[in-house]
Amino acid sequence: MIEAVGLTKRYGDKTAVHNLSFQVRPGAVTGFLGPNGSGKSTTMRMILGLDIPTAGSVTIGGYPYRKLPNAARQVGALLDAKAVHGGRHARNHLLCLAQLSGIPARRVDEVLGVVGLQEVARKRSKGFSLGMGQRLGIAAALLGDPQVLLFDEPVNGLDPEGILWVRNLMKALAAEGRTVFVSSHLMSEMALTADHLIVIGRGQLLSDMSVTDFISANSADFARVRTPDTEPQLREKLTSALTEAGGHVLPEQDGALRVTGLPLPRISDLAHEADVRLWELSPHQASLEEAYMRMTQGAVDYRSTIDQKAGLQQPLPPGAQPPMPVPGQGQPGWYAPPPPQQGGQAFTMPPGQQAPGGAPAGPYGGQGAPAGAYGAPAGAPNPYSAPAAPGAGQPNPYAQPAPQPPQAQPAAGAPAQPAAPAAEPAPSAPVSADPTKPEDAR
Ligand SMILES: Nc1ncnc2c1ncn2[C@@H]1O[C@H](COP(=O)(O)OP(=O)(O)OP(=O)(O)O)[C@@H](O)[C@H]1O
């Protein structure tokens, strides 16, 4: 178990981590989330004894990392996949690490198999792609067969099959009773991988709870109601009836209605009383991404000027910081995520109820893992080719072609699209302007 108590780190007058207390328990994947610059990497570095806390402490199995006997056998970490000697062969890189910790050479070949790099084991890592580098970093983390694993954005740069492989690997490691602490900015991935979440903002703890509780606490459940597309007057009639009954009704982009404040049976009764036929009446919970956005929107330090221009961020006086978010409450005056897009969230599998093919295929969930410490069957040919989860990307069976408005209107609060040019650009104009650059720099 990892335990932080009052963990604080200051760099000069910058407080990167402030009074952080949490536990990361074995047997589960714990996601570590927070906006850019919120202190995730700093926290991980302190856990690994690479940074000294200004105040507080963090221990692994009761010991500070630097006092752990044979730490490399107990803790494995991927912090920065690029932190390798690029001139060394992948295998030699791992061999050096193994020798430093008294790990036998055969273990190097085992982990190369686990991460699917056998074919390039004797290639210099400076020629590796981002994803191959991540795999090498994961191999290094697994080398000591540790009980505690930390991964800082492990899926960064991986292709979809690699992402699925990492997901299954994390779950399998946790299922073996290990402590798995993983940071990521990919919410959809975290929703599928993590059991528990620790969320920080500006170095402070915002939330420490299960994924399910986090979504419930930070988003309102809602009902999706759909009337026949061919009779828009029914939609208006139902909207009035639901609003009069105290419901809050928001249009979704596909023509459905998002209703909060009324239970499903009441919505059904009201529709019946108003003589409105329904094509859909379904209960929904917001996605992890929506819940995360809602929770952290006030703790985001780096925002696009495009967001400001689009009115997604309330202007603050110069130098003022937005208030820290309060768990479970919105941030008045701040951008709230729009309703899900058509087919977007309606069929997201809740965490822990993944489609059968998405479940770990075995120890580490990857194919091609050698028999050995993990008892995995040897020899499947291509470890990159983890099977895709059936059901992933399944179309919404209720989705009807949405009626096309004459001019597409952005959803309330949604980022405004750049206006289409009124005329063909002049031949000398750049073909595509970079919207991330100030206009005078394009
Ligand atoms: N060595 C350092 N010296 C000075 N400031 C630092 C140092 N390391 C981190 N910081 C600052 O501490 C804050 C937290 O940084 P950190 O890298 O931990 O955030 P993060 O949550 O990992 O961000 P990201 O999601 O972008 O990786 C940032 O403001 C960063 O600039």
Report how far ligand 1's centroid is from the alpha carbon of 40 (Å).
Answer: 8
For residue 132, the model assigns a pLDDT of 87
Span 354-375, mean pLDDT?
35
- Output phi, psi for 366, to 5 deg: -95, 155
- pLDDT of 325 > 80? The answer is no
C-beta of residue 33 within 8 angstroms of C-beta of residue 206: no
CA angle 256, 258, 261 (to 5 degrees): 150
Helix ranges (DSSP H) in 358-398 = none
% the chain with pLDDT above 70: 66
- pLDDT of 418 > 80? The answer is no
- pLDDT of 420 > 50? The answer is no
- pLDDT of 217 > 90? The answer is no
For residue 304, the model assigns a pLDDT of 61
- pLDDT of 179 > 50? The answer is yes
Lowest mean pLDDT among 17-31, 240-254, 365-379: 365-379
Span 288-300, mean pLDDT?
78
The span from the CA of 279 to the CA of 229, in Å, is: 9
C-beta of residue 111 within 8 angstroms of C-beta of residue 139: yes
Protein residue whose Cα sits closest to atom 3 of ligand 1 = 11
Whether the CB of 301 sits within 6 Å of ligand 1: no
Tell me which of 174 and 134 has the higher pLDDT. Answer: 174
Report how far ligand 1's centroid is from the alpha carbon of 16 (Å).
Answer: 6
C-beta of residue 8 within 8 angstroms of C-beta of residue 15: yes
For residue 125, the model assigns a pLDDT of 73
Mean pLDDT of the chain: 74
Whole-model pTM?
0.65
128 — pLDDT class (breaks 50, 70, 90): confident
- pLDDT of 362 > 90? The answer is no
- pLDDT of 383 > 50? The answer is no
C-beta of residue 184 within 8 angstroms of C-beta of residue 29: no
- pLDDT of 289 > 70? The answer is yes
Task: Render the burial of 251-288: b for 16+ CB within 10 Å, e for the rest.
Answer: ebbbbbbbbebbeeebbeebbeebebeeebbeebbbbb
Q: Among the atoms of ligand 1, which is closest to the Cα of residue 185?
A: 25
Protein residue whose Cα sits closest to atom 4 of ligand 1 = 11
Alpha-carbon distances, residue 317 vs 68, 314, 322 (angstroms) = 48, 10, 10
Structure tokens at 30: 């714990």
Closest Cα to residue 92, out of 76, 105, 110, 101? 105
Report how far ligand 1's centroid is from the alpha carbon of 41 (Å).
Answer: 7
Q: Which of 18, 41, 54, 58 to mutate to test the pocket of ligand 1 (most atoms within 8 A of CB)?
A: 41
For residue 324, the model assigns a pLDDT of 52
Alpha-carbon distances, residue 167 vs 160, 351, 361 (angstroms) = 10, 12, 11
For residue 327, the model assigns a pLDDT of 44
The span from the CA of 307 to the CA of 244, in Å, is: 34
- pLDDT of 442 > 90? The answer is no
Protein residue whose Cα sits closest to atom 2 of ligand 1 = 11
Q: Which of 40, 43, 52, 296 to mutate to test the pocket of ligand 1 (most atoms within 8 A of CB)?
A: 40
Protein residue whose Cα sits closest to atom 18 of ligand 1 = 39
- pLDDT of 432 > 60? The answer is no
428 — pLDDT class (breaks 50, 70, 90): very low
% the chain with pLDDT above 90: 45
Q: What pLDDT, in 10s, does the model give residues 8-66? A: 999 999 999 999 999 999 999 999 999 999 999 999 999 999 999 999 999 999 999 99
Structure tokens at 53: 């806390």
Domains and CATH numbers, the chain: 1-219+286-389 (3.40.50.300), 220-284 (3.30.70.980)
Q: What pLDDT, in 10s, does the model give residues 149-164? A: 999 999 888 888 889 9
- pLDDT of 421 > 60? The answer is no
Q: What pLDDT, in 10s, does the model give residues 304-324? A: 665 554 444 444 445 545 555
For residue 367, the model assigns a pLDDT of 35
Cβ neighbours around 72 below 10 Å, total: 18
For residue 260, the surrounding DSSP H or E stretch is: strand 257-260
